[in-house]
Structure 1
């Protein structure tokens, strides 16, 4: 997995801490005079002023001191991690450190929760320290090419879909609703996928295909996907629907009544979609159903694509 996010820059003072993480060890400084544990790395003890500091391995375990779910990315590169679970962990030795949580759901978090370290090796040059709950099944190491696992989600069996005959116009019109479906499966919009679409479509404008120039000159700070690409990726998402239309001979995509791209999708983002039946009407050639599909970056409230897709059943 390509890493497109800022990385920490170790200093001579902090290098032993980062070297420890590369070895999958959490290391803290401890004062040789007053035995005070120290984090962040420093040249002298903040408790007694002594310079007799030494590095020691610790378990890295502790408790959740505080946390928040960030739903607006601080930088465009973090758009694929929304909602980002920002946290402060209090280590068993006493120091507190800022981190992010993986393998948990916001609903299951509370202050005082026991947590354990997760070594995130995906950046390659620097290993990052994240945390998960002590009883989580999330692995202790996220290796290059992997994503952090989501927290546990209840796996309830899906109810059988309602079958509505295409000739039952009243039944079909009963599907019209202001409420949207649940979220679909997720699709990752990688730079490779964007590049392939650019080659296929002929739209190789630098805002899509040149990460270096986009980082320097684009208002988004990175490359973005073509709106048309995000639109067609809806075909790869499984949107949960509790209904099924039967009894027709052919079904065709008749076009779109409305197509908008309200928000960009930055490279590396994960997207998902939901839908609602907006309208149903009898036409000369059959029944026309308008399905309003909203595609979002995961964790973002504003949709990236709004498509009123018209499907003709004949």
Structure 2
């Protein structure tokens, strides 16, 4: 399960820092030439400029160097954290880290107060952010809490997610496909009917004899648009139901591809996964990545990033 909030992107230089956080450790670099401590991650020492840095685990204890309280979220995804105590912590090693101060009442925040790290798990995959709190509080690991766990389910067993619950919505984007749908046979009669309806009667779709001789597929194939349209006849069992909206519209597709042909007579089925959740002035957009395959083929015949808009 994911988070809607933008996450740091690990680079080749910073990857050890983020990996250590996932393992509930705080590691920063120390120079082997002058023993100076370095943060943020770099290729060279900021004290003597030597390219001889080593990652070392530290306790993370330090003091609050500076902070500011934000009461208006810069993005809707941060509304659940207001007010935020954005802080700069000076570690015992002398380096400073930009972070967030948590579990401390506003009136208790003072410059110079002693703080310690909190390893905040923000996804089921173990993504971890470094926060700080007062040394009087419990630090250590803040476990990830599944925002879908306590939501109700409908008669079909789908978890019901209010469109206003952004945290729960973001947890739907877990990169896991649904089970396969029902199956549909795409025969020549169906292809011909679509050709008549659409006006696309290209021989590759409608002339089996010519296709047998001249087509690289040795048979007619279904129109890519036909296979896409058949998505509406595939019953893909989503594990969730979005509730609490006034309108829901098919907003279009961010991507539509036809990677593999569907030969006449093939049986197709489909599956999907939530690719992304985004929020804008238009409403909440859910991007559903739909794959349609010929049964037995690993390569999809259609990939459709379908965007659904809730208001």
The residue correspondences of 1:130-209 to structure 2 (distance < 5 A) are 130-137=131-138, 139-145=139-145, 190-191=168-169, 195-198=242-245, 203-205=247-249
Q: How far did residue 143 of structure 1 move? A: 1.4
Looking at CA atoms only, which structure, 1 or 2, has the larger radius of gyration? 2
SS of corresponding position for 1:72: coil
Q: Is residue 2:281 matched to residue 1:219? A: yes
Question: 1:50-65 to 2 correspondence within 5 Å?
Answer: 50-65=50-65
Equivalenced residues, count: 179
SS at match of 1:195: strand
Aligned partner of 2:264 in structure 1 is: none
Determine the structure 2 residue equivalent to 1:107.
107
Q: Deviations over 1:119-169 (max 9, x none)?
A: 0112335311001100014x521212169xxxxxxxxxxxxxxxxxxxxxx
1:88–1:98 CA contact under 8 A, matched in 2 = yes
Output the CA distance in 2 between the equivalents of 1:221 and 1:114: 42
Q: List gaps (5 residues or longer) in structure 2.
A: 148-163, 173-239, 252-273, 287-309
CA gap of 1:213–1:27, structure 2 versus 1, over 3 A, is: closer
Helix, strand or coil at the partner of 2:243: helix
CA distance in 1, matches of 2:7, 2:120: 12
Q: Following the alignment from structure 2 to structure 1, what is the Cα–Cα distance between the partners of residues 37 and 77?
A: 34
Q: Per-residue deviation at 1:72?
A: 1.3
1:6 and 2:69 equivalent? Answer: no
- Where does 1:243-258 land on structure 2 (aligned, <5 Å)? none
Question: Does the alignment pair 1:118 with 2:181?
Answer: no
> Where do 1:39-58 residues align within 5 Å?
39-58=39-58
Q: Is the 8 A contact 1:214 1:221 kept in 2?
A: no
Q: Structure 1 pair 214/61, CA: closer, same or farther in 2 (3 Å)?
A: closer
CA distance in structure 1 between the aligned counterparts of 2:241 and 2:73, rounded to whole angstroms = 21
Alignment match, 2:130: 129
> So what's the TM-score if we normalise by structure 2?
0.51
8 Å CA contact 2:34–2:48 kept in 1: the answer is: yes
Once residues 220 and 72 of structure 1 are traced to their aligned partners in structure 2, the CA distance between those partners, rounded to angstroms, is 20
1:53–1:221 distance in 2 versus 1, CA, 3 Å? farther
Change (3 A) 1:66 1:20: same
After superposition, give the CA deviation of every residue in 1:60-106 in whole Å (9 maximum; x if it has no partner).
11000011111111222111111111000000000000000111111
Alpha-carbon shift at residue 213 of structure 1 (Å): 7.8
- Helix, strand or coil at the partner of 1:215: strand
TM-score, length basis structure 1: 0.51
> Structure 2: how far apart are the matches of 1:49 and 1:70?
37
SS at match of 1:97: strand
The answer on whether the counterparts of 1:77 and 1:222 sit within 8 Å (CA) in structure 2 is no
Instruction: Tell me: CA distance 1:221–1:98, structure 2 relative to 1, closer, same or farther (3 Å).
Output: farther
Does the C-alpha gap of structure 1 residues 2 and 13 become closer, same or farther in structure 2, counting only changes over 3 Å? closer
Runs of 5+ in structure 1 lacking a partner?
Answer: 148-186, 225-266, 268-314
CA distance in 1, matches of 2:243, 2:36: 55
- Determine helix, strand or coil for the equivalent of 1:51: coil
